[in-house]
């Protein structure tokens, strides 16, 4: 265990390193800036930069970079060396406060949704001192925000930091009303569970669809999938365990609190879960986790797949976003305590979340919208596209008693008796866990389970922070002006429950009956990305984000454009990949197979009289018919892609891809997958599902 404690955070310029290396007054100013979101002046930044540079060089770094998160879903970095010229053919190692605090990048080459023209290239990166710098690949990485020349956010971190300030302001207002004068800040915390698949690199290299699209565009279901539930929490295979050990070490060096690892439900699927931390740091850490998963996998001749649905017919991968609120005094505001029915403060914060999720369910759905996640949501393995909240029996009964002005008797914690004397009894939780709910209360936090595995957690938490901030703002406005706080508080909680209880559902979210019931309650069922995204720029959404200074209207419009363009581009790449695989590999292989069987048929007829040759004739007939279907659907898909080019409006084009392109892709796949089942394994051009899902030993 000493090895772990020695390496943990060894590549991070964290608080303990700062305390050791910075002058005491500079260290105090730095900590104050981190805790209270205060700016550092340039003199302080110069001292910090010099110390940071010395530490980085001692740990093998030769370059530095402003590490940021543009609207591509992945991170970006431009490396500069520490060297500066000094005299004749000599250099010194320098790094100034200005270089630490601000950088410049070409903004025109990143998605901007029309915010920047191609010739308007200037963009700026700005240091986020609340997220520690770290060393990766001999480079000092400085977490930064990224904005345009005009100050508009071009990244995912800037809105996240703004949203954290918004909920901080409103939560502190509420806590002052409860007499907590010592609370100066409230931060949201997140622990994102990360699901992923591991496949053999040799197998991956033979699949153009995995290379270009991250998922299998063709592939028949194997004889065995996850039906026996034997992979979930099962014994971890040696190569996978070796990968997990190496991954843990790399993450621990970066100060990432990797805690739990196990096999997931589908074959070749696994999960990693960290301990929760402050939201912007959690977002940085999750981006690093995904990057490290892919790097470490390569060392083991494996490939890590982060797509939401890499294999049809088995579970896809999600990312469960465990979200809560904590004060600077260490209080979790979503912890109900031993007697939640007597905890008015907890109930008010609980109601703020219930109200927020109900009022802005469309924004929460839009925050997880992507072409990959469309394959997963509602597929009886993940929450449906309908947003609802699970509270469990006890909290639901408490809220019902408040709404009806009835006394709540409370529940005694019963002991669970297993029936084996050697196993100790333990207290039963007051609520079960609901794995089918999109938004479930799990004891002292909410678990938002709709997020796809490949996505950044920033967009989801921007929305969560902002919508809850709006509920708290409305609550604070009402309570601050009340003559009788206790009475006003009771009435507010009661009315909030009454108005927003439709969003609470404790049953099976996978049941089709729930979808009908949800629609009857007036809840939205936004099944696809083009259905969900337009809600981003509705008047209601613009007012919300502008009120809390998280997004301007122009920033929202740019993000809508970026997301719609991404949807179109992803599907275009998938369709073009299918056409290429179909024309160059699958159809020629099937034609060759039919030819071989035909030769066998003719040989049998020549050699043997009165032989029916039913197998050969059946195969030739069925394969030829399916081959004709493939040829037709490939041509139709090609023609439809050409037609899509003529559509100028981005929303209309996204709808076209959803309504025309996707069904054609599914029809083409259906024919190919049926052919895979009847063709000779030796002649099929790609590794099949059995090889991919069960190939890692």
Give pLDDT tens digits for 510-562.
888 999 999 999 999 999 999 999 999 999 999 999 999 999 999 999 999 99
Alpha-carbon gap, residue 260 to 257, rounded angstroms = 9
**Contact (CB, 8 A) for 100 and 49:** yes
Average pLDDT over residues 255-261: 92
Higher per-residue confidence, 337 vs 572: 572
Alpha-carbon gap, residue 493 to 399, rounded angstroms = 9
Fold type of domain 2-154: Ubiquitin-like (UB roll) (3.10.20)
Mean model confidence pLDDT for the chain: 89
pLDDT digits (tens, 9 = 90+) for 21-54: 999 999 898 888 777 667 778 888 888 888 989 9
- The per-residue pLDDT for 340 is 72
Average pLDDT over residues 71-98: 74
- 415 confidence band (pLDDT: 50, 70, 90): very low
- 615 confidence band (pLDDT: 50, 70, 90): confident
Question: DSSP alpha helices (H): ranges in 258-408?
Answer: 279-299, 344-359, 361-367, 371-374, 393-403
| CATH for the stretch 163-551 | 3.30.590.10
Q: At a CB cut-off of 8 Å and minimum separation 6, what does 467 contact?
A: 356, 357, 359, 360, 363, 364, 544
Average pLDDT over residues 8-27: 92
pTM, whole model, 2 decimals? 0.92
Lowest mean per-residue pLDDT among 129-133, 255-259, 263-267, 417-421: 417-421
Give percent of the chain with pLDDT exceeding 90: 64
Is the pLDDT at 598 greater than 80? The verdict is yes
- The per-residue pLDDT for 431 is 55
Is the pLDDT at 114 greater than 90? The verdict is no
Lowest mean per-residue pLDDT among 130-144, 209-223, 333-347, 407-421: 407-421
**Contact (CB, 8 A) for 264 and 234:** no
Candidates 3.40.50.10800, 3.30.70.2860, 1.20.120.1560, 3.40.190.10; correct CATH number of 567-694? 1.20.120.1560
**Contact (CB, 8 A) for 76 and 68:** yes
- 92 confidence band (pLDDT: 50, 70, 90): low
Question: Of 378, 386, 342, 391, which is closest to residue 501 (Cα–Cα)?
Answer: 391
Is the pLDDT at 433 greater than 70? The verdict is no
Is the pLDDT at 459 greater than 60? The verdict is yes
What are residue 380's phi and psi, to 5 degrees?
A: 55, 30
Higher per-residue confidence, 104 vs 361: 361
Higher per-residue confidence, 283 vs 31: 283
Is the pLDDT at 136 greater than 80? The verdict is yes
Q: Where are the domains of the chain?
A: 2-154, 163-551, 567-694
2-154 and 567-694 in the same fold: no
Q: DSSP label at 78? A: -
Give percent of the chain with pLDDT exceeding 70: 91
Is the pLDDT at 288 greater than 50? The verdict is yes
- The per-residue pLDDT for 481 is 85
């Amino acid at each position: 265990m000493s090895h772990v404690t020695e390496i943990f955070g060894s590549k991070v310029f964290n608080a303990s390193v700062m305390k050791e290396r910075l002058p005491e007054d500079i260290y105090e100013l730095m900590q104050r800036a981190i805790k209270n979101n205060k700016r550092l002046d340039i003199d302080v930044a110069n001292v910090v930069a010099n110390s940071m540079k010395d530490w980085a060089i001692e740990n093998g770094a030769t370059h530095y970079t402003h590490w940021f998160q543009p609207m591509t879903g992945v991170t970006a970095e431009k490396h500069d060396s520490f060297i500066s010229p000094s005299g004749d053919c000599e250099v010194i190692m320098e790094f100034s406060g200005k270089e630490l605090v601000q950088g410049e990048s070409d903004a025109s080459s990143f998605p901007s949704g029309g915010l920047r023209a191609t010739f308007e290239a200037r963009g700026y990166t700005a240091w986020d001192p609340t997220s520690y710098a770290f060393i990766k690949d001999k480079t000092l990485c400085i977490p930064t925000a990224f904005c345009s020349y005009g100050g508009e956010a071009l990244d995912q971190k800037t809105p996240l930091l703004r949203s954290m300030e918004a909920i901080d302001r409103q939560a502190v207002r509420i806590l002052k009303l409860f007499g907590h004068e010592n609370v100066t800040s409230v931060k949201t915390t997140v622990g994102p569970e990360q699901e992923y698949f591991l496949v053999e690199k040799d197998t991956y290299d033979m699949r153009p669809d995995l290379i270009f699209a991250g998922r299998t565009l063709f592939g028949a279901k194997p004889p065995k999938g996850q039906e026996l539930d034997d992979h979930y929490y099962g014994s971890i295979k040696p190569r996978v365990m070796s990968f997990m050990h190496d991954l843990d070490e790399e993450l621990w060096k970066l100060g990432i609190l990797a805690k739990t690892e196990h096999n997931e439900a589908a074959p070749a699927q696994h999960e990693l879960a960290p301990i929760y931390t402050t939201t912007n740091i959690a977002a940085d850490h999750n981006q690093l986790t995904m990057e490290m998963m892919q790097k470490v996998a390569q060392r083991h001749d494996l490939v890590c797949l982060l797509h939401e649905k890499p294999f049809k017919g088995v579970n896809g991968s999600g990312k469960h976003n465990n979200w809560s609120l904590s004060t600077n005094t260490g209080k979790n505001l979503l912890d109900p305590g031993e007697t939640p029915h007597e905890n008015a403060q907890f109930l008010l914060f609980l109601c703020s979340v219930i109200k927020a999720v109900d009022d802005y369910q469309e924004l929460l759905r839009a925050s997880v919208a992507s072409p990959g996640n469309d394959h997963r949501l509602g597929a009886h393995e993940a929450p449906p596209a309908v947003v609802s909240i699970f509270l469990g029996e006890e909290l639901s009964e408490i809220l019902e008693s408040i709404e009806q002005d009835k006394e709540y008797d409370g529940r005694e914690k019963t002991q669970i008796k297993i029936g084996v004397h050697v196993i100790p009894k333990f207290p039963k939780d007051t609520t079960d866990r609901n794995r089918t709910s999109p938004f479930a209360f799990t004891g002292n936090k909410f678990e938002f389970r709709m997020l796809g595995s490949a996505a950044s957690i920033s967009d989801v938490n921007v929305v969560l922070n902002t919508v809850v901030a709006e509920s708290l703002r409305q609550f604070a406005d009402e309570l601050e002006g009340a003559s009788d706080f206790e009475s006003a508080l009771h009435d507010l909680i009661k009315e909030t429950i009454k108005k927003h209880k439709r969003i609470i559902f404790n049953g099976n979210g996978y049941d089709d009956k729930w979808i009908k019931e949800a629609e009857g309650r007036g809840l939205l069922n936004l099944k696809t990305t083009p259905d969900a995204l337009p809600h981003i720029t509705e008047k209601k959404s613009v007012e919300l984000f502008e009120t809390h200074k998280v997004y301007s209207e122009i920033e929202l419009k740019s993000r809508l454009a970026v997301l719609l363009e991404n949807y179109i581009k992803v599907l275009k790449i998938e369709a073009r990949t299918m056409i290429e695989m179909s024309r160059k590999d699958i159809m020629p292989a099937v034609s060759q197979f039919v030819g071989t069987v035909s030769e066998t048929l003719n040989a049998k007829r020549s050699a043997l009289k009165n032989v029916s040759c039913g197998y050969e004739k059946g195969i030739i007939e069925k394969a030829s018919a399916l081959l004709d279907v493939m040829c037709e659907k490939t041509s139709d898909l090609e023609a439809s892609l050409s037609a899509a080019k003529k559509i100028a409006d981005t929303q209309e084009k996204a709808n076209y891809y959803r309504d025309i392109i996707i069904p054609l892709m599914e029809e083409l796949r259906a024919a190919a997958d049926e052919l895979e089942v009847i063709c000779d394994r030796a002649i099929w051009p790609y590794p099949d599902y059995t090889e991919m899902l069960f190939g890692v030993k």
